[in-house]
Structure 1
Amino acid sequence: MLKYYLFSLFFLWGFYCLSQETDSIFRKTIDIPRITEAPKIDGVLDDVAWQNAPVAKDFVERNPKNGRPIPDSLSTEVKIIYDDLGIYFGAYMKDPDPDKIGTELTERDDIGADDFFFILLNGYNDRQQSMQFIVTAAGVQYDAKMTNGNEDNSWDAVWYSEVKINDDGWVAEVFIPYFILRFPNKPVQEWGLNMEREVFRVRTRYSWNHIDNQKGAFSLYDGEIHGIKNIKTPTRLSFQPYVSAYANNYDGETSFNFNGGLDLKYGISDAFTLDMVLIPDFGQARFDNNVLNLSAFEVQFAEQRPFFNEGTELFSKGDMFYSRRIGGRPSSSPTVNEGEEVAFQPNAVELINATKVSGRTEGGLGIGLFNAVTNEAFAQIRNEESGETRTEMVEPFTNYNVAVLDQRFSDNSSVSFVNTNVTRLGRFRDANATGLYINHTNKANTWNYSASTEGSWVFQEEETVFGTEIQASAGKISGEHRVQARMDLRTLDYNINDLGFSTNTNYVRYMGYYGYRYLQPKGNLNNMFLNFNLNHFRRLDPDLFSNFTFNFNSSFTTKEFFGFGGGIETTPFGTNDIYEPRINGRHVQFPGYHDQWIWMNTDFRKKLAFEGFIDWYNYFEEGRSSIFLSLNPRYRFSNKFNLRYGLFYNPSYKEQGFVDMDGDDIIFGQRDRITVENSIGGNYIFNNKISLNLIFRHYYSGALYSKLYSLEQNGELTEEPERENIYDVTFNTWNLDLNFSWWFAPGSQITILYRNALDSYLQQSGQSFDENFDYLFSHPQLNSISIRLSYFLDYNRIRNAFSNMNNSNRVKPEKMTEGS
């Protein structure tokens, strides 16, 4: 193991010596004044406060022709002012064809065929993390946190905006309260700022401070706001109480549930925020896309619960935190004796509460603490002869904890420490994992290198199992030609799955990458990307060649915004798969393959748009192949109504995979597998606060086995024609969600959800279409309707409302909220 650490350090030092250059980013500045009377947020810049406001102008094209000055016909000027409550932006964006301004209505945090105005604010001016605020020409809000160019739109804030389309363009007026921002507690502020404007019909974007596409992340190119002085850090305290009601009908029985609870946010200091959910309710979270999983690893599902999605940028460091573990399946299964059967096995554990504390000091140190507690869970076991039942605990009271320290330096580099811990009461297993991460980009933003190491400890009874992972990479990240080299490994006992998500272990991997791209449009192309990749995998202990792949992929976008591309991949030496046998130390030999694919998408500016791909694996074995086909048309009937259809089709012939264990024998099977998925999505948007959303998905997958094999010690398969085939399988799942949402006040929402769901699992395959649907709909269906009301309460607004009753000279709340 020591040789890998030494190799990593030598490897990174060599690239570091090549990468030293100086920074040359030009930054605009703007000095803004304090006002005494706030403007009305109505999309009309006629208030006294705007008359002498400074103007940010001279925007520069970012895409597609990077660096070109904005034309006079699209001249954009933004006025900026501030007061004791927050900061105001008044953007006037000229347009010679105002009738062609994109104004598609969408749900909040979504952008369709829209022109928009974009604000990026960084209260610590560290060029690494900013708050992002977008308002479309249809008046729809979108907000996110951006860290080193990576966007997290799960963050939601309460701010105020209004737009107006005029005879010569459009206006966006925005008020951003201090209580949703983060900035140091000092007399004179200096914030990072950038702003952008998108003209959708020509897919052109302009930024205030020029963003050089040759190098560096988006946030490195902030300009600066000066002049903000002597503002008080507001009391950042808000509450989000909720009530919900559910009516569920399943298998002829109807049940009713009523819930109530509270989400709380409190600013412990100017830098740190406490988030807490008390009596959580996630009953309206979107359904998971369940699949028939025949692989060696579990399926990773996206987090659908808002509390676990929001404000998690610190906790995502190192990818050691997979929040679906909290409140997921129990960690153990019941003990079933002879003559017994499991009558009930819980598929989820109750979450009691969860708390997050996160923030960043003025010196760039980010600190994140997460803690959650889940309840006990019990299975029921029935005696088949007597009918008596007993209960057995499958999950005790459990505490989940994540701690993160993240120190930023040099505008674009960081050192991070992450620790995750799971502690269960009683005899159940506990776990701990620790990671250290270094990421450095030189000042010129031309070279990046990183290194990390992780350790995992699993404690069960008197045994402790330790595993580790290490990684090192270096690459040129600027210009038309880019390269990267990387090495990583995991030992056999590496396991972060009590609170993280990991799959492959016991490997070492070497990777190389070369990429070429257009930085400016050429000919009929707006952009082009060509990428070449080499990957060499080996089993770590004992050493064994696993795989060598060559991959080429490409992407092109024409000046008519037609996108297309494709690629090839090959494994010329075949694969020794060390995971499919499901037993450590064993492997199975699979033939090599050629993979080729193409994809395309039409111009999304059009009402009718289409995207799709076809991917064909052709193995070095007669008759063995797999095809992946995806078709996704969409149609925008109006600025209020759109529909999307998705088809995924995957026939796979003569694939081979694990099916069972027979004592010490590992049984494989040869199967033909067909997977078909149909989905429909649609939105009807009444206005920028009220929407109706449909999501439907039907998934089918069936596997029909033709041969069974025994796996030999050398990785070869020996056919066993006498073995009984009991492994055919068909799986269906059907989900439909119809959701009505109304943002009736800032941060406050009513949602009504109708849900229909059912699934089926059958140990045979090859049924006709009609037979398959008849069998699926013979199963009990879940029909559910629920309503949830949440209301946002901000301490500052409540306090100011009472103050305004006694002092008519204060800024009235309606001046901030009218038209928002």
Structure 2
Amino acid sequence: MKLQYISLLISVFFALNLCAQEVEKTSLPKRIYTTKKLKTLPVIDGFVNEEAWNVVEWSSNFTENNPDEGTPPTYQTKFKVMYDAKYLYIAIRALDDNPKLIEQRLTRRDGFAGDRVNVIIDSYHDKRTAFVFTTTAAGVKGEEIVTQNGNNWDDSWNPIWYTDAKVDNEGWTAEMKIPFSQLRFGDDKEQIWGFNINRTIFRLQERSLWQRIPNDQAGYISEAGELHGLVDLKSQKQLEIQPFIVLQYDNYPAEVGNPYRDGNDFKINGGIDAKIGITNDLTLDLTINPDFGQVEADPGAIALDGFQIFFKEQRPFFVENKNIFDFEFANGRDNLFYSRRIGRSPHRDANLQKDEFADVPQNSTILGAAKFSGKTKEGWSIGVLESVTANEYAEIKQTDGNTREEIVEPLTNYFVARAQKDFNERNSYLGGIFTATNRNLNGNFTELHKAAYTGGIDFRHTWRKRDFYVEGNTVFSHVTGSEKAIFDTQTSIARLFQRPDANYVKLDPTRTSLTGTGGRIEAGKQGGGNWRYNTGFVWRSPELELNDVGFLRNTDQIIQFAEGKYLWQVPKGIYREMEVGLEQSSTYDFGGNLNRIRFELQGEVSWKNNWFTEIGVGGSNQIYSNAFLRGGPRWRAADDTFYYAFVGSDRSKKLSTTLGYVMVRSNEDVFHINRYVFRMNYQPFDSFSISLDNEFEQTQDKTQYVTTKDFENAKRYILGNIENDSWTTTLRLNYSLNPNFSVQFYGQPFISRGRYSNFNFVNNSLASSFNNRVNLFDENQISVDKNDTILIDENRDNVTDYSFEKPDFSFVQLQTNLVVRWEYIPGSELFFVWARGSSGTQDFDDSLSKSIRTQVFDVPANDTFLIKATYRFVR
């Protein structure tokens, strides 16, 4: 109980400081650059010595931002800005006394490597969002949309614009030509935009800014300078149409007798993507039959805890402008919109009789999707998404040679509407979201929700020059369906209403709907001085359900959290910057049970030689889990302590590495974890780079859940001692002939092997000692038959009371692809792709390395070859 009082005192301390602390900050005037209309057109070739640029003056006097904020940079930067009726033109002169040392690293678009400049344009002038255009010294372009006043940078945006760069004896130069149709702005006679330029000298890991932003400032976009002189700009409504065609050939091991797996397939596919500027602020995105052929495969993973795994969205249509639709309502990945639900794999497998074979679609067909999104000059952020996926059928070949169809996924409509409104001089916003999922079940699919609706309201308010903030949100969900569908929802691992000791929830098999709530409230200090802190709480009611078009891992939680950090932001001695932080949280369920208290002390240091170090220590106690026994009673886990340390070398060097180690230990040695991390990046020459990411984890846990069995009118919750080793490595090779032509190889083997021993059953799930929580089966109670089935004779009467399959496993997955990408004109691309993959089980008695070798060299793989061509028509 003492720890609960400590948690409460920490929260109260932080809350009182929100009102009590005064902040002294550096107040800087806004720099202003006044542009003019050009008289003659410059050629965008990277040279900035043309007469066309002479209608405006150079601006300079950049200030170092990192590592030594507020001082003159090692080398100055100059720029000019001009415009005409359709384009904004920017010239940059990056001075450097050692041109031979300028890093001209060739990468794919959005590579952001080497010397570079970022032009930051807040054309809304809302002081929260911006468009960022990046040019490297090698002429590689990159673009980002910045939201949350600099806290979120999204590089999924790919507008059409033009740039080039050249290195000369004074340093390097760049030119940019940005269409106004790619920006969003109001209809004022004279535009005033937020504006800043950030230059990075890669070898020095030094950044400098045109408009100085001290490190103690809470915002980034809000502190930018201003661009004046844009007079009588006319709305440039965007219109882009991009058809595509895909030729795909698949080669795979033939299955004897299966007419659908004869060894190869050939497909032709096509579709259209379009962007239509409804106004200069709002854009309509359309797609018909979208294709995602060149997308990387998901990384390998196994969930031993039973909860679903989050995989990031990689499909271009859904990735672009995804920040507008985000509604992350709690700590972690919980979100009301998780676009991977759209076009997901079918919910059902084919129901096959003996000697039947089926052709089952891998994904639901997206018949069409549309997004209407943007931000207005008045401060409204708006997003509406509508998508329909088709009825999916498995074609089944019967034993008599005839075929039949069996539906495996119903016609489904997905709808998402999102809005936010800025007010209080852009220091506050209020927003909301609504989602709807409706399925045409036609009396079938009694296991699925017929309809699912979610909604939420979010807000944020900052004060004292944005140093202090309070923010929060609340969400609700309502799902309807058959009694079976709602029963399955109540008994899913996220809820487990059937738990025998869960007297605060009720399992009702007659229900046909379920309604829940959740949310988060947080307040803190984010700028000014050296202190940062926050405190708040999160809740997820037991009835909350978001997984029809959102992502929700678990429910039945109330989490109180608090965090404090102290920052050293001025370089001194051997370090550039440092921070030390303390985090604390307490977790309860809706029955009022305390389920965890957690503390973590962490520190980070960036050294003068550009190396970095991260260390941390923490622990949890009074740990209980409502889901551990998969519907059984509440389980007490062993208290644990963890340590971690990471050290990385200078990322500006040709070769950089990171080493890491994580160790977790529990009381009574119930479980322990060792995780080893090695990452390496090597760029032997400017056009070629190699990256390698290795992780090896060893876990031993005496209480790994195995199964539940009935015994003498009671439940037996079977656990075992698991030794689980997992290893994954990701290799990437990138070769760029020029900024528009690249070759990329991606390879990732993954293996997870688990071997079980010392099986036991739960005796007293809440006992404080491990030996009192479980009973270990002795040699007279347990045996293994020739089929690797575990036989349990619990009462020792020589009769098997119950049995279960031996749970040992060794799962291996190999994913590789080779992608050649050519952007033959801006916005239009040609892809040549070879993908190779295999997955399956191996002998769990083999070593990890032997299992990988067997999977790579002895197991037949699936090969896919595809050519994809796109052409973007732009008006």
TM-score of the superposition, structure 2-length normalised? 0.85
Alignment partner of 2:407 out of 393, 403, 416: 393
Give deviations 1:289-343, integer Å, cap 9, x for gaps. Answer: 0212212311111111111101111101333211111111334567799x99995
Q: Would the alpha carbon gap of residues 27 and 771 (structure 1) be closer, same or farther in structure 2, given more than 3 Å must change? A: closer
Deviates more, 1:273-282 or 1:135-144: 273-282
Alignment partner of 1:545 out of 565, 589, 594: 594
Give deviations 1:269-303, integer Å, cap 9, x for gaps. Answer: 11100011112111211110021221231111111
Residue 774 of structure 2 aligns with which residue?
A: 717
Alignment partner of 1:358 out of 373, 397, 402: 373
Secondary structure in 1 aligned to 2:222?
A: helix
Q: Would the alpha carbon gap of residues 655 and 389 (structure 1) be closer, same or farther in structure 2, given more than 3 Å must change? A: farther
Residue 452 of structure 2 aligns with which residue?
A: 431
Cα deviation for residue 765 of structure 1 reads 4.9
Residue 788 of structure 2 aligns with which residue?
A: none
Secondary structure in 1 aligned to 2:48?
A: coil
Cα deviation for residue 234 of structure 1 reads 1.5
Cα deviation for residue 764 of structure 1 reads 4.9
Secondary structure in 2 aligned to 1:219?
A: coil
Q: Matched residues in 2 for 1:382 and 1:254: separation?
A: 18
Paired letter, 2:571: P
Residue 736 of structure 1 aligns with which residue?
A: 816
Alignment partner of 1:646 out of 693, 698, 717: 693
Q: Matched residues in 2 for 1:380 and 1:792: separation?
A: 36
Alignment partner of 1:153 out of 136, 152, 155: 155
Query: 1:727, 1:764 within 8 Å by CA — same for their partners in 2?
Result: no
Residue 615 of structure 2 aligns with which residue?
A: 566
Query: 2:14, 2:533 within 8 Å by CA — same for their partners in 1?
Result: no
Give deviations 1:757-801, integer Å, cap 9, x for gaps. Answer: 000035855557436643675544111111111112111xxxxxx
Cα deviation for residue 657 of structure 1 reads 2.3
Residue 740 of structure 2 aligns with which residue?
A: 689
Deviates more, 1:614-623 or 1:283-292: 614-623
Query: 2:185, 2:376 within 8 Å by CA — same for their partners in 1?
Result: no
Q: Matched residues in 2 for 1:225 and 1:392: separation?
A: 62
Q: Matched residues in 2 for 1:764 and 1:539: separation?
A: 38
Query: 2:15, 2:524 within 8 Å by CA — same for their partners in 1?
Result: no
Paired letter, 1:348: N
Q: Matched residues in 1 for 2:599 and 2:16: separation?
A: 26
Q: Matched residues in 2 for 1:771 and 1:51: separation?
A: 67
RMSD: 2.6
Query: 2:18, 2:525 within 8 Å by CA — same for their partners in 1?
Result: no
Q: Matched residues in 2 for 1:581 and 1:741: separation?
A: 49
Q: Matched residues in 1 for 2:848 and 2:186: separation?
A: 66
Paired letter, 2:745: L
Secondary structure in 2 aligned to 1:189?
A: strand
Query: 1:726, 1:763 within 8 Å by CA — same for their partners in 2?
Result: no
Query: 1:586, 1:713 within 8 Å by CA — same for their partners in 2?
Result: no
Q: Would the alpha carbon gap of residues 560 and 15 (structure 1) be closer, same or farther in structure 2, given more than 3 Å must change? A: closer
Cα deviation for residue 449 of structure 1 reads 1.1
Q: Matched residues in 2 for 1:287 and 1:655: separation?
A: 33
Query: 1:340, 1:381 within 8 Å by CA — same for their partners in 2?
Result: no
Residue 834 of structure 2 aligns with which residue?
A: 754
Cα deviation for residue 350 of structure 1 reads 1.4
Confirm whether residue 594 of structure 1 aligns to residue 594 of structure 2.
no
Confirm whether residue 633 of structure 1 aligns to residue 689 of structure 2.
no
Secondary structure in 1 aligned to 2:221?
A: helix
Query: 1:58, 1:70 within 8 Å by CA — same for their partners in 2?
Result: no
Cα deviation for residue 17 of structure 1 reads 5.0
Paired letter, 2:669: E
Residue 269 of structure 1 aligns with which residue?
A: 279
Give deviations 1:63-119, integer Å, cap 9, x for gaps. Answer: 111111335xx222111111011111111121111111111111110122x111110
Paired letter, 1:272: L
Alignment of 1:227-626 (within 5 A): 227-252=229-254, 253-318=263-328, 319-331=335-347, 346-379=361-394, 391-409=405-423, 410-426=425-441, 427=443, 428-429=448-449, 430-461=451-482, 463-478=512-527, 479-540=529-590, 542-571=591-620, 573-583=621-631, 586-622=633-669, 624-626=671-673
Alignment partner of 2:854 out of 753, 761, 774: 774
Secondary structure in 2 aligned to 1:107?
A: coil
Q: Would the alpha carbon gap of residues 700 and 171 (structure 1) be closer, same or farther in structure 2, given more than 3 Å must change? A: same
Secondary structure in 2 aligned to 1:736?
A: strand
Confirm whether residue 76 of structure 1 aligns to residue 133 of structure 2.
no
Query: 1:21, 1:442 within 8 Å by CA — same for their partners in 2?
Result: no
Confirm whether residue 202 of structure 1 aligns to residue 209 of structure 2.
no
Q: Would the alpha carbon gap of residues 366 and 622 (structure 1) be closer, same or farther in structure 2, given more than 3 Å must change? A: closer
Paired letter, 1:501: F
Paired letter, 1:324: R
Query: 2:350, 2:358 within 8 Å by CA — same for their partners in 1?
Result: no
Structure 2 regions of 5+ residues with no counterpart?
A: 1-10, 255-262, 329-334, 484-511, 767-772, 783-791, 793-802
Confirm whether residue 35 of structure 1 aligns to residue 56 of structure 2.
no
Alignment of 1:5-84 (within 5 A): 17-18=19-20, 24-70=27-73, 74-84=75-85
Secondary structure in 1 aligned to 2:55?
A: coil
Q: Would the alpha carbon gap of residues 512 and 120 (structure 1) be closer, same or farther in structure 2, given more than 3 Å must change? A: same
Query: 2:762, 2:775 within 8 Å by CA — same for their partners in 1?
Result: yes
Q: Matched residues in 2 for 1:145 and 1:262: separation?
A: 24
Q: Would the alpha carbon gap of residues 330 and 133 (structure 1) be closer, same or farther in structure 2, given more than 3 Å must change? A: same
Query: 1:419, 1:434 within 8 Å by CA — same for their partners in 2?
Result: yes
Secondary structure in 1 aligned to 2:521?
A: strand
Q: Matched residues in 2 for 1:469 and 1:10: separation?
A: 23
Residue 495 of structure 2 aligns with which residue?
A: none
Give deviations 1:602-641, integer Å, cap 9, x for gaps. Answer: 1112222111210011111237311010111222111111
Q: Would the alpha carbon gap of residues 275 and 634 (structure 1) be closer, same or farther in structure 2, given more than 3 Å must change? A: same
Q: Would the alpha carbon gap of residues 392 and 543 (structure 1) be closer, same or farther in structure 2, given more than 3 Å must change? A: farther
Q: How many residues of Structure 1 are paired with residues of Structure 2 in the alignment?
A: 780
Percent identity of paired positions between Structure 1 and Structure 2: 26
Query: 1:703, 1:765 within 8 Å by CA — same for their partners in 2?
Result: no
Q: Matched residues in 2 for 1:46 and 1:431: separation?
A: 61
Q: Matched residues in 2 for 1:586 and 1:120: separation?
A: 55
Residue 93 of structure 1 aligns with which residue?
A: 94
Secondary structure in 2 aligned to 1:105?
A: coil
Secondary structure in 2 aligned to 1:482?
A: strand
Cα deviation for residue 654 of structure 1 reads 2.9
Query: 2:843, 2:851 within 8 Å by CA — same for their partners in 1?
Result: no
Q: Would the alpha carbon gap of residues 332 and 420 (structure 1) be closer, same or farther in structure 2, given more than 3 Å must change? A: farther
Q: Matched residues in 1 for 2:521 and 2:355: separation?
A: 51
Q: Matched residues in 1 for 2:476 and 2:22: separation?
A: 32
Structure 1 regions of 5+ residues with no counterpart?
A: 1-8, 796-820
Query: 1:702, 1:766 within 8 Å by CA — same for their partners in 2?
Result: no
Query: 1:435, 1:455 within 8 Å by CA — same for their partners in 2?
Result: yes
Query: 1:546, 1:577 within 8 Å by CA — same for their partners in 2?
Result: yes
Paired letter, 2:340: R
Q: Would the alpha carbon gap of residues 336 and 755 (structure 1) be closer, same or farther in structure 2, given more than 3 Å must change? A: closer
Q: Matched residues in 2 for 1:89 and 1:347: separation?
A: 47
